[in-house]
Amino acid sequence: MSRVGKNPVAIPAGVQVAIVDRVLSAKGKLGELTLPLSDVVETTIEDGKVLVQPKGESKQARAMWGTTRALVNTMVKGVSEGFSKRLEINGVGYKAAVSGQTVTLSLGYSHDVIYQVPEGIKVVAEKPTLLVVSGANKQRVGQVAAEIRSYRGPEPYKGKGIKYESEVILRKEGKKK
């Protein structure tokens, strides 16, 4: 029995959730997200809550029960509060600049790295060495942050590169004479 799936998803004020043709849509102040629903779970809206129930006792139905509930909860939270990831840039001369939907990264290469931010995601440079990636879709926020980080991941000797703010880099000892 799913411990996650049996909990209803509360719909906060300012968020509208609707189910039309096996597609759940959530609309709030930060945008609108949609989720195609699986055939093995039954999703209903009652008393300001979204309820998810499996249609049978199959393994697939039980797996999708908790998954669907978690995805619905993430959508509702995303359109009401949003998600964000913070990236720190460490290294001499390493910096980032944001202009419109373009992020320009100076990461010690012979050229600047230019990253086009996808629609629905907002990137802000709070400092030249701190980027904040935010948006309503948790998966896309994480994907954009991972793509930016992949241009120069942190290295273990000096810690230079792009890392998540909460990430801990295991440092290695350098060469000895």
Tell me the pLDDT tens digit for each residue of 82-98.
999 999 999 999 999 99
Residue 25 pLDDT > 70: yes
pLDDT at 33 exceeding the cut of 70: yes
Residues 71 and 88 in one domain: no
Output the domain CATH number for residue 119.
3.90.930.12
30, 48, 80: which is the final residue of a domain? 80
User: What is the per-residue pLDDT for 148?
Assistant: 94
Residue 119 reports pLDDT greater than 60: yes
In a domain, 175, yes or no: no
Going by pLDDT thresholds of 50, 70 and 90, the confidence category of residue 1 is low
Of 40, 57, 80, at which residue does a domain stop? 80
Residue 87, judged by CB atoms within 10 A of its CB (0-12, 13-18, 19+), counts as buried
Q: Which domain holds residue 26?
A: 9-80
Look at residue 13 and tell me whether its pLDDT is greater than 70.
yes
- pLDDT score for 46: 87
Residue 75 falls within a domain, yes or no? yes
Choose the final residue of a domain: 47, 80, 113. Answer: 80
Q: How far apart are CA 91 and CA 169, in angstroms?
A: 14
